[in-house]
Structure 1
């Protein structure tokens, strides 16, 4: 701290600043009962070319899905903290592989790009406005549901839509991972705008709150709600935009995506080496335009574990399903709106461990109410790894 020349009461303070690493390269591997082996990788740069902007490139591969995305965000587009972001993506999904079925579902390829603005309302809440252009291409299976073929006959298989998004989010959680205090919620409205091939909208709400019971235990209340429908010349929410329920993060104790309306039972023939074969297809989950799920969890530490900071154990009650208020065909099952008698529920115990190798989640759930044709699954687990 040398003195300032010619001044008796001032000194110069010299700082040596070393910039921390702002970029990262990561790879991941995971496993879940619904998706099987999941591989992923990403490159992120929090100070792209020294501008202070955020850039990312990522990919994810599993047995049924490939996802690629690239993004760029200026977190301080304005001095007031308004952010400006851009992204582009490509997704290829084969639901025949996801449900381990032979041509009873469909595949869909999607690509597009979007931009969004984020407005900070206060320290805990934010408003986001954006627009995305997206192209979807659908390919039905040999024995896809009559509802899928009916939609394709009416609307086609290829669509380009312009989606406008308005979202609000708030969070007072004490931790980003394994929170025990506070609450978070988000509300999002999406609608296709004029110039799109299809006209539809979706409204989604997600919320959770943690209520302290003691110094080491808390009660978690959570819900997910959604509603979608069409407008204009489009007849009903596109089937591939339907909500699904069941499985981890939804209603545990039931197989992923198996709750809700069922499609029309179908039969079909196909040719192989010049011979005709006959095949029956049972009803499959179709999803719906109404989502209602929620639950209560009591979170507590394990007494024989000294450090529970990376471990969460709970007993839980999950409830919910998906519904449809429009029957695409007279033979579609369970499309008469919300029916509380067809709402699934389960109770169980669960554990989530953020280990050095990644997050591991395991649940044992017992169905209390099983809707018609629902597929149960008592034990569910998933494993993620980052290195």
Structure 2
């Protein structure tokens, strides 16, 4: 007889000594004795006896059983004192502390969560029966990590105030590795081909990171499904896995896995049919069918076709549409007639669109991004596009959407967006370093979401060896209800070009501008900018001949008014670290006739992100730009030239050094002497008379009017940091140059690896690149210098 029931039986016998079997009494009071932590109210809630009710021996068993069932007590007895029912209890001890020792492969947090799942945690009532489950659960956790030599020992120590401490000692042992995987019965595909499809593998160079040589039942089941899909996608409809055997060596060091398969024959498609209530014109659905007669049957293509048809119906409001694949197999001819049966169900309408988590951002800011409207039929693509638009705002760390069906309504759903806000304001002062600009001091006060309105205000100061800048900007993304944006800016910038590896000159620019953005459709926008600039050009003691000639002809102060028109097409899924979509931008700028300088600039950029796997993204980027003078200006002003080389263009070459060079004359002040060799003194200033004399010539990068850049990069997560979204690595191939005219033979190439981190202290980008066709110096011609290489490059404290 189980112990609880034996105890219950004995207590009933003892109770019968004081309460006769046929004696009943009215309970006028109930007293509980022995409580330490449990409240009397808890006992009263579970006790099936109340004051004023009749009580007899027949009620004793159910009462004691009900209190035992709570799990709070290890002993319960009932007594009668007149008309008072006395409940005597002995509480189970509580768990004061759980100590885990010896765990290395699994963290304490992971093990604690596992124990919580079976009801053992600090503060809960201790039950020896649950302790027996601890070893089973920990074994399960470690077996999934390939630890088959695991040993677990538990100790329970009694503490004061009816508490216990639990010590769990773990001896993990070494990881059991997969020694061999055998596939038996395969004829169409050899073992290496099939083994490449599996996640499980024998030990290789990357196993320390991937842990693919550690056996787990879950991984094996996933691999079996992968293997099944591999065959079904290649026409083997009758493929089956006959059996699997997993054997472990006596020393528990090695595992052998054997998979027995039966391939069957290859089947081809005879016909593809559409049936059911198609809703939309059949010709629209036929375009979505990715398989056709004569092709080898592929379950993957059939599934993708089914999903494409279902998504198309979803755009018409049939959110709950089912598209079932019904194959008719002809065993004799080894062919399949595939029918896609469409059951659209009822058209679903959106009752409410709800937002949660936006504690700061106003609902109207989120709602104006919605492409799905309330009271209209539900469109899967519009709901997903609305989610993407929320992500692209930049106000939220995470955006999730759910579409639950309205209770009691078969044709209505709610669309619930849950957002996690991030800090959209920034007050910072910092120090950064760039190989180009040197030490960078910056102060920035910005608010991308002023008072939750979605408007952006920015006040910034930046100072480095190259640049000193003061800027103020305001931007309203919804200037009117049609989505027209408006912004304006004021600023002052002083640049010293010699600090960034190019020819020596400096400029002071005061600017004021206004811009408008007009959406054409969901992905395209026209933008109009009008910028007024006053530029002051300063020469130095080391001035290129071209700059001297420019100043002689054009002067050193210029007032220009430059309108710009640009078109952009943007389908990126995120503003930062996108993983899919593309972006195009065409821009044309021209100063107005009558400006001190008359010139124009045209540029086109195109980039596309292609997801190759869950954590791999391939990026292609290209840029072409051209500028020239018109009217009274012969060419593009030199301080508007394009530059290439280094971070953001062709890595591996020193920043801004690719392209044309200028001859820079170095001047020095020479003290004048008379015929006798004495220093000539100016009678007015009483100082030596000096003359500015050219003493040397040197070549420096001068930039050009034409720019060509191309980049191909594969992004992947950083090993051991795959869950961190602010870090990524890449391997790349760069090509590009700057010239006066399109000269494809002057393109430079490089390849290497890169890393990017959006750190709390600023953006950090690093790269290590190998120039592939760098030009060398011509020893016979000092005016033909080679390219300046820089293998390792980094930027910190600046935007990408």
Common fold: TM-score over 0.5:
yes
> Which range moves more in the overlay, 359-368 or 265-274?
265-274
2:702 equivalent to 1:300: no
Indicate the residue corresponding to 1:339 in structure 2: 743
1:382 alignment partner in structure 2 = 795
Alignment of 1:97-112 (within 5 A): 97-99=499-501, 105-112=504-511
Counterpart for residue 38 of structure 1: 440
Q: Which residue of 1 aligns with 2:312?
A: none
How is 1:171-210 mapped onto 2 (pairs within 5 angstroms)? 171-210=570-609
Check the 8 A contact 1:342/1:370 in 2, yes or no. no
In the other structure, the counterpart of 1:260 is: 659
Unaligned runs of 5+ in 2: 1-357, 362-422, 672-687, 776-784
Equivalents in 1 of 2:359, 2:714: separation in Å?
Answer: 45
Question: Helix, strand or coil: the match of 1:260?
Answer: coil
More deviation, 22-31/201-210: 22-31
Equivalent position of 1:96 in the other structure: 498
* Closer/same/farther in 2, CA of residues 199 and 79 from structure 1, 3 Å limit: same
The match for 2:729 is: 313
8 Å CA contact 1:244–1:258 kept in 2: the answer is yes
| Bigger helix fraction | 2
Compared CA separation, residues 19 and 268, structure 1 to 2 (3 A): closer
Give the direction of change, closer, same or farther, for the CA distance of 1:171–1:270 in structure 2 (3 Å limit).
same
Work out the CA distance in 2 between the residues paired with 1:315 and 1:22.
32
Change (3 A) 1:357 1:87: closer
- Tell me the secondary structure at the aligned position of residue 772 of structure 2: strand
Cα gap change, 1:358 to 1:111, in 2 (>3 Å): same
SS of equivalent residue, structure 2 residue 549: helix
CA distance, structure 2, for counterparts of residue 170 and residue 309 of structure 1: 26
**Deviation for aligned residue 1:305:** 3.0
Contact kept? 1:109, 1:137, Cα under 8 Å: yes
Secondary structure of 1:189's match?
strand
The reply to whether residue 118 of structure 1 matches residue 517 of structure 2 is yes
2:451 & 2:761 partners in 1: Cα distance?
A: 31
270-279 or 347-356, which moves further after superposition?
Answer: 270-279
Between structures 1 and 2, the one with greater strand share = 1
Verify the 8 A CA contact 2:766 2:794 in the aligned structure 1.
yes
2: CA distance, partners of 1:175 / 1:368: 33
Post-superposition offset of 1:385: 8.0
Matched, 1:356 2:760: yes
Match of 1:85?
487
Partner of residue 260, structure 2: none
2: CA distance between counterparts of 1:255 and 1:244? 11
Question: How many pairs does the alignment contain?
Answer: 355
User: Kindly tell me: are residues 296 and 46 of structure 1, through their superposed partners in 2, closer, same or farther at Cα, counting changes over 3 Å?
Assistant: closer
Q: Distance in 1 between matches of 2:571 and 2:598?
A: 36
Q: Structure 1 residues 98 and 306 mapped into 2: Cα distance closer, same or farther (>3 Å)?
A: closer
- Distance in 1 (CA, whole Å) between partners of 2:514 and 2:790 is 40
Contact kept, 8 Å, 1:357 with 1:385, in 2: the verdict is: no
**SS of match in other structure, 1:250:** coil
Question: CA offset at residue 308 of structure 1?
Answer: 4.3
Deviation at 1:191, TM superposition (A): 0.4
* Alignment partner of 1:55 is 2:454: no
Gaps of 5+ in 1: 1-16, 325-336
Measure, in 1, the Cα distance between the counterparts of 2:432 and 2:577.
Answer: 19
Q: Separation in 2 of the partners of 1:55 and 1:368?
A: 44
Q: Deviations over 1:137-178 (max 9, x none)?
A: 101112211011111111111000000010122222222212
Could you tell me which of 750, 773, 796 is aligned with 1:369?
Answer: 773
Residues in 2 aligned to 1:74 and 1:212: alpha-carbon distance in whole angstroms? 33
1:100-249, aligned counterparts within 5 Å?
Answer: 105-249=504-648
Q: Which TM-score applies when normalising by structure 2? A: 0.42
CA contact (8 A) 1:28 1:385 kept: no
Bigger CA drift: 71-80 or 223-232? 71-80
Q: 1:281 to 1:173 in 2, by over 3 A?
A: same
Contact map agreement 1:311 1:352 (CA 8 A) in 2:
yes
- Higher-Rg structure is 2
2:662 partner SS: coil
TM-score using structure 1 length:
0.84
Per-residue displacement from partner, 1:84-125 (whole Å, max 9, x unpaired)? Answer: 2221110001123333x9xx6111000021111111222322
2:111 paired residue number: none
